[in-house]
Structure 1
Amino acid sequence: MTRTAQVVVIGGGQSGLAAAYHLRRVGLDFVVLDAQAAPGGAWQHTWDSLHLFSPAAFSSLPGRIMPTQAGRTYPDAQHVVEYLADYEKRYELPVEHSVRALGVHRDGEFLRVETDSGTWRARAVISATGTWWRPFLPAVPGREDFGGEQLHTVDYRRPQDFADKRVIVVGGGNSGAQIAADLAYDTDLTWVTQRPPRYLPDDIDGRALFDAATARRRALDEGRTDTGGVASLGDIVAVPPVREARDRGLLKASPMFTRLVPGGVEWSDGTRAEADAIIWCTGFRPTLSHLAPLQLRGRRGHIATVGTRAADEPRLHLLGYGDWTGPASATLIGVGRPAREAAREIAAEVA
């Protein structure tokens, strides 16, 4: 069965919902296709202790302020899931859950979206599938030789699963720091980073990061000197659990090892550390396999964009994958502006 809509949004997480909100405001006919069985996007699959970098008021999608969470300055992931579910319901957004997009194809004046439950034809497509579903593992020698457990950020849930074990956490970003802090009390922890950890000042939170990313994009657009954006400030937001573990001396980072061995890891000088488990907090890549039929990806795996629009397929917009699809667009507070611009641009084209 083939159905039609002016716009098909692929992905029903925070980016897809922000797009839906603005598509509704410009009066377009659209549908949101979400592979997840329930609202909440990737937030419903994170580790138990994860919470936002910003207070609720500065972590909101367009049109609806996130309510505060009792007893918390920075809401946890479950609060975000509940907020997204309420957002979807409040605005009666046409989200079809448990629908996986398999491929987007050119079909004359339309784009054809093949899914595991039928076909859609649309004048425009917004891809908002994020990165959570494509974890990145570095090519480290000996990874197949290690005899213990190996996980990525996406697999980690709680420190109790590793109580009294020897655990190596790899990664000097926010995920690595937060998971290392989570494990610092009940495990024999080794935290490994590519370079010494760079903490942002303790009073910096997600709102300041959004402002920095926006200022950088504005400077680049106006031909001024690159401000460096968020990267100029540091790598790790010192949220309370990270700050506490750091101040207690529990977050001491070791340099990156050179290889894995059957019982652990080894550094270039021959030093070894034994481990029962290694958790790779080594980031993600954009989830774009459904766009492969369009043959748009460049050498780095990104699709060239002008704003949110694909440079070589003007009927396709990408939203929420990072700064290359809008300043801070992978964040709750940052996705609203590029979502609005994409909806307005699509409305003008469809009209």
Structure 2
Amino acid sequence: MTQHTDVVVVGGGQAGLAAGYHLRRQGLDFVILDADPAPGGSWQHMWDSLHLFSPAQHSSLPGRLMPAQPGETYPDAGHVVDYLTDYEKGYDLPVQHGTRVDAVRRDGEGLLVETDTGIWRARAVISATGTWSRPFLPDAPGRVVFTGRQLHTVNYRCPADFVGQHVIVVGGGNSGAQIAAGLALDGRVEVTWVTQRPPQFLADDIDGHALFDVATARRRALEQGRSDTGGIASLGDIVAVPPVRAARDAALLTAKPMFSQLTPGGVRWADGSEAGVDTVIWCTGFRPALSHLAPLNLRGTHGRIPTDGTRALGEPRLHLLGYGDWTGPASATLIGVGRRARDAARALTALLR
């Protein structure tokens, strides 16, 4: 049996919920299809010690402030899950959990959304699947011969899983810094942090709220034809959240240059020396999870779908939300996705009416 609606939103994390909020304000009929069995999006799968980069009041979706977490300036992932759960229920958003979208296809004036529980026929689709389900592993020399354990950020949980081991953490971004800091501060793990280039820590007083302001200022400058301010990239790579700051100040967070290759039992450094390693944690980022859109044949360079704002250039009935700056500055953040969701909902309203 095929069900009908104005808009199908694919993904029920922060981007999908923000889309639902604005679609309801526009008076459109919609459904949100989410593969996870429970609310919370990717936040329910994060590692135990992860904290937001911003205080709660600066990490909210549209219409509903995130409450402060007692005893924490920067809320942890569990608090975010609770907030998203409350947001979904508080606005009574029509989320169908445990529904995996397999494909989106053109069908005359509409789009067919094929799922593992049935088919939806929609006048438009908002894809908000994010990147968490598509971790990226680099083709590092020797990776296939290394006999130790290899994990990606998505598989990491806590230092207790690595007691007595030598762990190499690969990656110079926030995930690599936070995981390396947590392992180092635990004291029961020998940890080596390696990066492609020297890590750049942001000033201690810069958090996610300040970064959002910087990204917004850059967007406005570009829209007005002024010089590119450089945005967030001009400030550094790593937000000095408390655990990162503590490990850095204790000289426990000094990065080494990337190893030249993995060996069966460890790594070989550029000078030819070797070190035994039990586990490698690859904090090497993600790619957009867009396989469900493959039948539309919209992919451009770097695996991305060319867009104007959130609208797919090759299919005006499709909007992409929350994948990164290519779908709107700060659109992959809690505080930043609301503006892009509003834009997408307004554009679809104009198109459909």
Q: Which range, TM-score by smaller chain? A: over 0.9
| 1:187-202 alignment runs, 5 A limit | 187-202=189-204
Provide the rounded CA distance (Å) in 1 between the counterparts of 2:332 and 2:197.
24
C-alpha deviations, 1:163-186, integer Å up to 9, x for none?
111000000000000000010022
Letter in 2 for 1:272: E
Residue 152, structure 1, aligned to residue 184, structure 2 = no
Residue 340, structure 1, aligned to residue 342, structure 2 = yes
TM-score by structure 2 length? 0.99
C-alpha deviations, 1:18-47, integer Å up to 9, x for none?
000000001000000000000000000010
Partner of 1:87: 87
SS in 1 for 2:335: coil
Provide the rounded CA distance (Å) in 2 between the counterparts of 1:286 and 1:224.
30
Q: Report % sequence identity.
A: 72
| 1:33-48 alignment runs, 5 A limit | 33-48=33-48
Provide the rounded CA distance (Å) in 1 between the counterparts of 2:220 and 2:199.
28
Letter in 2 for 1:73: T
Instruction: State the 1:222 CA deviation.
Output: 2.4
C-alpha deviations, 1:49-82, integer Å up to 9, x for none?
0010000000000000000000000000000000
| 1:25-36 alignment runs, 5 A limit | 25-36=25-36
Provide the rounded CA distance (Å) in 1 between the counterparts of 2:219 and 2:294.
28
SS in 2 for 1:68: coil
Partner of 2:269: 267
SS in 2 for 1:317: strand
Provide the rounded CA distance (Å) in 1 between the counterparts of 2:226 and 2:351.
31
| 1:178-257 alignment runs, 5 A limit | 178-184=178-184, 185-257=187-259
Letter in 2 for 1:94: P
SS in 2 for 1:283: coil
**Aligned counterpart for 2:296 among listed residues 294, 315, 325:** 294
Letter in 1 for 2:274: R
Partner of 1:110: 110
In structure 2, runs of 5+ residues without a counterpart are none
Instruction: State the 1:310 CA deviation.
Output: 0.2
Provide the rounded CA distance (Å) in 1 between the counterparts of 2:342 and 2:173.
29
Provide the rounded CA distance (Å) in 2 between the counterparts of 1:300 and 1:306.
16
SS in 1 for 2:301: coil
| 1:4-23 alignment runs, 5 A limit | 4-23=4-23
**Aligned counterpart for 1:315 among listed residues 305, 309, 317:** 317
C-alpha deviations, 1:91-136, integer Å up to 9, x for none?
0000000000000000000011000000011111000000000000
Tell me whether 214-223 or 100-109 shows the greater mean CA deviation. 214-223
Instruction: State the 1:215 CA deviation.
Output: 1.6
In structure 1, runs of 5+ residues without a counterpart are none
Instruction: State the 1:337 CA deviation.
Output: 0.2
Residue 168, structure 1, aligned to residue 168, structure 2 = yes
Instruction: State the 1:228 CA deviation.
Output: 1.1
Residues paired across the two proteins, number: 351
Tell me whether 338-347 or 268-277 shows the greater mean CA deviation. 268-277
Provide the rounded CA distance (Å) in 2 between the counterparts of 1:257 and 1:138.
13
Tell me whether 283-292 or 258-267 shows the greater mean CA deviation. 258-267
